[in-house]
Amino acid sequence: MAAITHTGHDSRAINSMGLWLFIASEFALFSAFIFARYYLTGRDQPEELNIGLGYAITVVLLSSSVCAYLAEQAIARGDRRRFLRFTLAAIVLGTLFLVGVGLEWREAAHSFPPPDLYGTVFFSLTGLHASHMVTGLLALLFIWVQGRRGRFDAEAHWGVTGVVRYWHFVDLVWLIVFPTLYLV
């Protein structure tokens, strides 16, 4: 969302505000699907859910977010090596999370496939979240490749900040989706 530079305006503040609005807007989208889950299935929940695996991938995703944070801190100090290493770690952990979701899907497709009602909300909500994960992973991959080619430094790293913020957002959404699907 980089803008053509406006003289006299802080383009980083402009980009940052746009990203916050975009994130708020995405929250609205998720809230509709989360609302649908409670509206349709109340507090019902199938016993076949693999809650252990759910906790495991949640921990993996949280670690990925921490790595992304450390990567951003590193580039803000101008430490490119550390930035690249932690970005890569965030990508690997994020991919691991998606593999976990895949395993969960295989079990769910066996025990409550749509047209089952819980399958409907489970697959649509995790699917919506996974599609945002894929977007975020591509973005992380993009800043990693760009960083390897020498882009971003201590002064100019809005690209990193933006992608990492989006990654935290996807993470935060999971922290709402996970209890919604597994714990309530």
Q: Binder to other proteins among 59, 134, 156, 184 (CB under 8 A)?
A: 156
Token reading at 183: 């714990």
Instruction: Give residue 92's Cα distance to chain centre.
Output: 13
The upper half-sphere exposure of residue 172, i.e. CA atoms within 13 Å in the direction of its Cβ, equals 12
Query: Which is closer to other proteins, CB of 59 or CB of 156?
Result: 156
Shortest CA distance to 77 belongs to which of 155, 164, 163? Answer: 155
Query: Which is closer to other proteins, CB of 33 or CB of 69?
Result: 33
Q: Binder to other proteins among 45, 50, 63, 124 (CB under 8 A)?
A: 124
Burial code (b: 16+ CB inside 10 Å, e: under 16) for 23-61 equals beebeeebeebbeebeeebeeebeeebbeeebebbbebb
Query: Which is closer to other proteins, CB of 41 or CB of 63?
Result: 41
Q: Binder to other proteins among 45, 54, 111, 114 (CB under 8 A)?
A: 114
Query: Which is closer to other proteins, CB of 21 or CB of 59?
Result: 21
Query: Which is closer to other proteins, CB of 36 or CB of 98?
Result: 36
Q: Tell me which amino acid residue 19 is.
A: L
Query: With the C-alpha atoms ordered 18, 147, 165, 30, is the resulting torsion angle positive or negative?
Result: positive
Q: CB–CB of 83/51 below 8 Å?
A: no
Instruction: Kindly identify the residues of this chain, within the stretch 47-86, that bind other proteins according to CB under 8 A.
Output: none
Query: Which is closer to other proteins, CB of 82 or CB of 151?
Result: 151
Q: CB–CB of 76/98 below 8 Å?
A: no
Size of the site for other proteins (CB under 8 A): 42
Does 165 interact with other proteins (rule: CB under 8 A)?
no
Q: Binder to other proteins among 45, 63, 111, 120 (CB under 8 A)?
A: 120
Whether residue 114 is preceded by a cis peptide bond, meaning omega within 30 degrees of 0, is no
Does 4 interact with other proteins (rule: CB under 8 A)?
yes
Q: Contact residues for other proteins (CB under 8 A)?
A: 1-4, 6-9, 13-14, 17-18, 21-22, 24-26, 28-29, 32-33, 35-36, 39-41, 114-117, 119-120, 123-124, 142, 146, 149, 151-152, 156, 158-159
